[in-house]
Structure 1
Amino acid sequence: MTTPLQNSRSAPLIGITTYGRDEGNRFTLPGEYVDAVRRAGGIPLLIAPGESQVDDVLAILDGLVLAGGGDLCPSLYGGSMHESIYMVDSERDSSELELARTIIEAGFPTLAICRGAQLVNIALGGNLHEHLPDVVGEEILHRLPPREPVEHHVTIDADSRLAAVMGETDVSTASWHHQAIRDVAPALTVTARAPDGTIEAVEAREHPWLLAVQWHPELTAARDAHQQRLFNALVEKAQQTES
């Protein structure tokens, strides 16, 4: 049921998932996510891991960003542990998988970023490379040591929704990952790759608006209009859904 408060909002409410609890029992999130949503005209609302009232949360939201962060537990996709795997958080994994499955079923407007893209693939039955350099080498760096972002180019399928949103088929991206999609879930289509063949984006064919990118558009969106367009398009779709 629509409340008087919802009726009074002039901008869509965009949920953003946060990192898990840190050593001080605090939930955190890089501010670039919030900034990108605000630039797009949305109102950000942070969603901490462990929230069990998924339907109630989505009932007040108009769109969602599944943010990046630590690695998903390999047991979730039939993978193996690797010495490079870090920040595994069972509370975050379980609550975000439920959230991902719900937004997929509901057709909820969603932008999935890095871990978020991997999460969507796992929720739909796909899996991951546990440590990408073991598969593709290091000619194209997907992060700098020890764990720092780096930029590289990505080629986008010209017929994809992603290309239509970004307005380009060759873009420079901020890469910050050591894992990536291995086997793509049947419901997803690959729409972008790095020069070494790494899957950099997927789309859900039957979903009204779900884009999943392996890179971090929020890191460069303030200076790169093509990256900001991902957030703009999400907010625009959320606005249409709200109205």
Structure 2
Amino acid sequence: MKLLKIRNLSFALLIFLVLQSCCFPPEIEPLTIAISKESENYPAWLSRYEDNIVYKNMYTLGIDSALKVLENSDGLLLTGGRDIYPAYYNQIEDTALCGEFDRYRDSLEFALIKKAMENKIPILGVCRGQQILNVYLGGSLYVDIPTEFDTTVIHRQEDWRNCYHKVYIVNSTLLLDIGGVNYGQVTSNHHQGIKDRATDLKISAYSADSIPEAVEWSNRGEKGFLMAVQWHPERMDTAHLLSAPIARKFINEAWTYNENK
């Protein structure tokens, strides 16, 4: 009788476990997004559209450690920040026109971009992130737009939270495909910008004065996803068509990478 009870309990436990596995699907492992230098704005922005993400701040790590973390990540987000040291684009004589530098960050992001491109990890660049992608791929920058470029468009002001201007989206670009708008008002605050475009990139948005405001691959082919914008989508309205679709596209590409790696 005692043996029968044990068997009945074991059978009941087995049925319970089977039913539980049917009713509750296994947990989905989160995405891992490597952020070149984190501030709370960027995780908050992406988390509006996907809450199953773990964020890794690469800036707190040595370069070798950061590269190991990146190898197990599903996307690389290159964020805004200080000016890129102009020697990287052969204009070291113009350092006086620059603001502050972060030489460690320059080296870190160059290494991260190289590894991400080798592994076809999706890349999204914001502000400085667009500039360093262009420089890494062989392009150059206006060291100081007000000094080098005659324009009436205000690209930078002290009240950076309220610096806006209009951008115009180029036809036959991924940016147009995902956003579905030909122009829009964006939050953008910068004194540098793309001067000579890297040959592997094409410009997908301009400001009214022709300064490039977004880039993507000119021919993606077998490369990993890449998109970069000069403006700050993380500071913009949740439903803005030049913010939300960019976040969603990056997240979708990261999930695709995650599933295929």
TM-score (norm. length: structure 2): 0.80
Consecutive unaligned residues of structure 1, counting only runs of 5 or more, are 1-6, 19-28
CA, structure 1 residues 157+190, in 2 after alignment: closer, same or farther (shift >3 Å)? same
Equivalent-residue separation in structure 2 for 1:146 and 1:40 (angstroms): 28
Which has more helix, going by share of residues? 2
Q: Secondary structure at the match of 1:192?
A: strand
Match of 1:39? 48
Q: Secondary structure at the match of 1:81?
A: helix
My pick for the range that moved more, 126-135 or 67-76, is 126-135
Aligned counterpart for 2:254 among listed residues 225, 238, 241: 238
My pick for the range that moved more, 54-63 or 91-100, is 54-63
Equivalent-residue separation in structure 1 for 2:96 and 2:67 (angstroms): 36
Question: What letter corresponds to residue 164 of structure 1 in structure 2?
Answer: D
Match of 1:30? 39
Equivalent-residue separation in structure 2 for 1:235 and 1:51 (angstroms): 25
Q: Superposition pairs for residues 140-219 of structure 1, below 5 Å?
A: 140-145=153-158, 150-204=163-217, 205-206=219-220, 207-219=223-235
Q: Superposition pairs for residues 1-243 of structure 1, below 5 Å?
A: 9-18=28-37, 29-41=38-50, 42-43=52-53, 44-48=55-59, 50-79=62-91, 80-145=93-158, 150-204=163-217, 205-206=219-220, 207-222=223-238, 224-243=240-259
| Alpha-carbon RMSD | 2.0
Equivalent-residue separation in structure 2 for 1:11 and 1:161 (angstroms): 26
Question: What letter corresponds to residue 32 of structure 2 in structure 1?
Answer: L
Match of 2:17? none
Equivalent-residue separation in structure 2 for 1:130 and 1:111 (angstroms): 22
Consecutive unaligned residues of structure 2, counting only runs of 5 or more, are 1-25
The count of aligned residue pairs is 227
| Higher CA-based Rg | 2
Do the aligned partners of 1:52 and 1:95 also contact (CA within 8 Å) in 2? no
Equivalent-residue separation in structure 1 for 2:56 and 2:241 (angstroms): 23
Greater relative CO, 1 or 2 (CA 8 Å, sep 6+): 1
Do the aligned partners of 1:16 and 1:64 also contact (CA within 8 Å) in 2? yes
Q: Secondary structure at the match of 2:87?
A: helix
Question: What letter corresponds to residue 69 of structure 2 in structure 1?
Answer: V
Q: Secondary structure at the match of 2:64?
A: coil
Question: What letter corresponds to residue 251 of structure 2 in structure 1?
Answer: V
- Displacement of 1:111 in angstroms is 0.7
- Displacement of 1:143 in angstroms is 1.2
